[in-house]
């Protein structure tokens, strides 16, 4: 779900007031040397002439607002867009996406003011997005994409992937025009182990798939 524009970050493992994000580069091409360190205002700590992501404020403000969050994905996950512009709730219909029982809110950038189209380009917009996210794992960004947060990198990748998959499945279910049974809160369960899935995702990423 990370096309040429998405990004993934983690909180710094020893300094919780910093986070790690690649320089501005398509996620599929990122190498170890591209990883940069930022403070929670999203100032680069050691820029060395590297170009930084315009939308890094999404990450900094999510870490500031959520001490429980150690990994963030921002993507333009294609099938969440229809849910971000219609008011149709993106709720969990499958067990593996049951983190979506906490229904993702939709963030409206115009509530705080636009600067460059629908892109997040400053801390005021980032803070507003984090406020809309609240204590949930996912928030949709109207006409743009989503922000996904988790306690660790494996879980954030799982959530970002299955937000897209659940959106696709829900769009299919809605096309049947029949009542839908959503996953109930007492049925929701985070996967206990993600190590096997992580191995597959890592292999696919390394192969450029
Ligand atoms: Zn974006």
Distance from the CA of 179 to the center of ligand 1, in angstroms? 33
- Cα separations (Å) of 123 from 24, 64, 65, 144? 18, 11, 12, 18
Distance from the CA of 68 to the center of ligand 1, in angstroms? 23
- Classify each residue of 164-181 as buried b or exposed e, where b means 16 or more C-beta atoms within 10 Å of its C-beta: bebbebbeebeeeeeeee
Q: What whole-number distance in Å separates Cα of residue 54 and Cα of residue 65?
A: 20
- The pLDDT assigned to 1 comes to 59
Helices (H), 67-150: 80-86, 123-133
- The pLDDT assigned to 2 comes to 66
Distance from the CA of 5 to the center of ligand 1, in angstroms? 7
Which residue is it, tokens 């299955």?
162
- Mean pLDDT per 10-residue run, the chain (209 residues)? 78 98 89 95 95 97 98 95 98 97 97 96 98 98 98 96 96 98 96 91 78
Distance from the CA of 3 to the center of ligand 1, in angstroms? 10
**Gyration radius from the chain CA atoms:** 17
- The pLDDT assigned to 84 comes to 98
Distance from the CA of 121 to the center of ligand 1, in angstroms? 10
Distance from the CA of 6 to the center of ligand 1, in angstroms? 6
| pLDDT tens digits, 99-123 | 999 999 999 999 999 999 999 999 9
In which element (H, E) is residue 170 found? helix 153-175
Q: How many Cα neighbours within 13 Å face the side chain of 63?
A: 27
Distance from the CA of 187 to the center of ligand 1, in angstroms? 32
| pLDDT tens digits, 85-103 | 999 999 999 999 999 999 9
Distance from the CA of 75 to the center of ligand 1, in angstroms? 6
- The pLDDT assigned to 3 comes to 62
Distance from the CA of 176 to the center of ligand 1, in angstroms? 31
By DSSP bridging, strand 7-11 and strand 18-22 are antiparallel
């Amino acid at each position: 779900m990370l096309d040429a524009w998405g990004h993934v970050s983690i909180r710094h493992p020893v300094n919780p007031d910093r986070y790690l994000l690649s320089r501005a580069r398509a996620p599929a091409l990122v190498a170890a040397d591209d990883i940069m360190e930022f403070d929670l205002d999203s100032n680069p700590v050691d820029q060395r002439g590297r170009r930084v992501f315009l939308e890094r404020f999404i990450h900094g403000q999510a870490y500031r607002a959520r001490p429980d969050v150690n990994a963030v994905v921002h993507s333009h996950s294609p099938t969440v867009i229809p849910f971000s512009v219609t008011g149709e709730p993106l709720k969990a219909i499958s067990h593996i996406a049951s983190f979506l029982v906490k229904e993702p809110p939709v963030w409206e950038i115009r509530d705080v003011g636009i600067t460059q189209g629908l892109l997040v380009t400053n801390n005021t917009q980032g803070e507003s997005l984090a406020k809309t996210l609240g204590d949930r794992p996912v928030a949709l960004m109207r006409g743009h994409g989503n922000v996904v947060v988790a306690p660790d990198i494996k879980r954030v990748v799982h959530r970002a992937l299955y937000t897209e998959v659940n959106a696709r499945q829900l769009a299919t279910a809605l096309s049947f025009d029949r009542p839908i049974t959503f996953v109930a809160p007492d049925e929701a369960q985070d996967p206990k182990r993600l190590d096997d899935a992580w191995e597959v995702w890592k292999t696919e990423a390394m192969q450029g798939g």
